[in-house]
Amino acid sequence: MMIDHDDTQDRTARDILARLASRRSCRDFEDVEIPRPVLAEILADGIEAPSSCNHQNWHFIVVTDPERRRLARRISGGNHHFEQCSALVYLTFQKGWTHGNFSIVQSVAGACYHMMLSAHLRGYDCIWNAGIGDHAALREMLTLPPIYELQGALAIGKARPSAPAMKAPRRPAEEVVSWETFSRPAASIYPARPADDYPFFAISNTANPFAEWNPRNWTWDQIADFRGYAVWAKSPLAGVYVSRRQGEAQEAEHALIPAGQCGTVVEVMPWGGTSTVRLRERLPQADLHVAELSEGNISFIRERMRREMPDVPVPGFDLMVGPSLPYEAGSVDCVILPQVLEHMPDPEAVLAEVARVLAPGGTVIASIRNMESAYGTLWSDEESRAQIPNQGPFTPIPAATVRDWIAGHFDIEEEYGIGIEATSDATILTGDDAQTGRLYAIRGRLRPVCA
């Protein structure tokens, strides 16, 4: 028997569902106070959520005191919004009941989302953070008894009028929903090292024996899919994704760009746009283009640049399909590959494409994470044992290999290593040491084709 009554025929229900769907995370709050009775109502809405065995073993600690929020921000590391927001709701539960199937964790999550929806319907904004910083320091701040576990925090406040008014892209339902049995498009199932079984507790963020870091074992479509959604782990705010580990290295990479470079300049796969911002500053007169694999990256970088450089024209954005660069042969003056060859399933094919699209005498500038360096050792011994980062899988490449690839199409004009240490420093290494730096940077000029 089919039930044809659908409450969503009701306009009110449809309107509410549409409003719920318009919720988006906010990481840029105004400093306003939400009245305590309103906060209490949001919390009360949250505890209408279902809970495993109805134990309701959750406990929510609402932090509004500005000093304590400042401390919460300090403990969290980079979460400015912990201080800006009006209230931080720490999500905790008592350990010892309904651990199986993560039921207690699922219960707290249900309550947290219910609070987000309540806050949203009341005109407030939220961000749910699992990354809250050092739990020991937070326990002390919150006077949390040892039998309670800390799961995350919900920041509630009022978005600044200038906060990005964009929601992170969603996968189409057909991709993440299948009927009766499992089926899913291949591009959205990511490679893992072959194994008979993948036991949940054999995997953690920092130690994942199944993580497939070699991009040659991913397809272009899988890489495009992963990077385009994962870049939205943060909001497209000014200054986002500036890496402390990278230090001053980006300046050194861009120093290879010929002074006064103009014409058409293409930056390939800059993911979150950190390097694009610096390029736009460095090359005000160039016709700058970004070639990316996913609309998710393109919309993120475009919005980020609108906020970070409101008075400067945003670059052109062009979608790459696999290794193909979307430009006519001989139409580009300079191509920049900022630490991306090591992210590609087929970097040799992309370099052939670079040679195709460059105009006679055009320039390529590539930098890579160098396997033959202190960083390469750190990557092999530690980093590559963790889960794949949001930028996508990568494997550092020996500088000598990249030099050979570049030399296959281009005359090498300049090359150097950047950084002696495994992270942070930007020492320039030349001569015999050029291939020993954390990064290897090289500039080549398209070799004239002999008639």
Residues forming contacts to ligand FMN in the complex (CB under 6 A) are: 24-25, 27, 127-131, 152, 167-168, 232-234
Q: What are phi and psi of 440, to 5 degrees?
A: -120, 130
Comparison of 152 and 263: residue with beta carbon closer to ligand FMN: 152
Residue nearest to ligand FMN (CB): 131
**Residue 445 Cβ vs ligand FMN, minimum distance, rounded to whole Å:** 41
Comparison of 129 and 370: residue with beta carbon closer to ligand FMN: 129
Comparison of 110 and 258: residue with beta carbon closer to ligand FMN: 110
**Residue 383 Cβ vs ligand FMN, minimum distance, rounded to whole Å:** 20
SS (H, E, C) 400-440: HHHHHHHHCCEEEEEEEEECCCCCCCCCEECHHHHHHCCEE
In the three-class reduction of DSSP (H, G, I as helix; E, B as strand; rest coil), residue 18 is classed as helix
Comparison of 233 and 412: residue with beta carbon closer to ligand FMN: 233
What is the Cα–Cα distance from 67 to 289, expressed in whole angstroms? 45
Exposed (0-12), middle (13-18) or buried (19+): which is 234, by Cβ within 10 Å? Answer: middle
Which regions of 15-73 does DSSP assign to beta strands (E)?
A: 29-30, 58-63
Comparison of 27 and 289: residue with beta carbon closer to ligand FMN: 27
Comparison of 55 and 234: residue with beta carbon closer to ligand FMN: 234
**Residue 234 Cβ vs ligand FMN, minimum distance, rounded to whole Å:** 5
Contacting residues for 68 by C-beta, under 8 A, at least 6 apart: 141
Which regions of 131-286 does DSSP assign to beta strands (E)?
A: 148-159, 264-268
**Residue 259 Cβ vs ligand FMN, minimum distance, rounded to whole Å:** 38
What is the Cα–Cα distance from 193 to 212, expressed in whole angstroms? 6
**Residue 102 Cβ vs ligand FMN, minimum distance, rounded to whole Å:** 12
**Straight-line distance from the first to the last Cα atom of the chain, in angstroms, rounded to the nearest whole number:** 77
Comparison of 18 and 130: residue with beta carbon closer to ligand FMN: 130
Range 60-76 burial, b when 16+ CB lie within 10 A, else e = bbbbbeeeebebbbebb
**Residue 113 Cβ vs ligand FMN, minimum distance, rounded to whole Å:** 8
- Residue in this structure with the two tokens 């279902």, named with its chain if needed: 50
**Residue 104 Cβ vs ligand FMN, minimum distance, rounded to whole Å:** 14
Contacting residues for 446 by C-beta, under 8 A, at least 6 apart: 355, 358, 359, 360, 361, 362, 363, 364, 409, 410
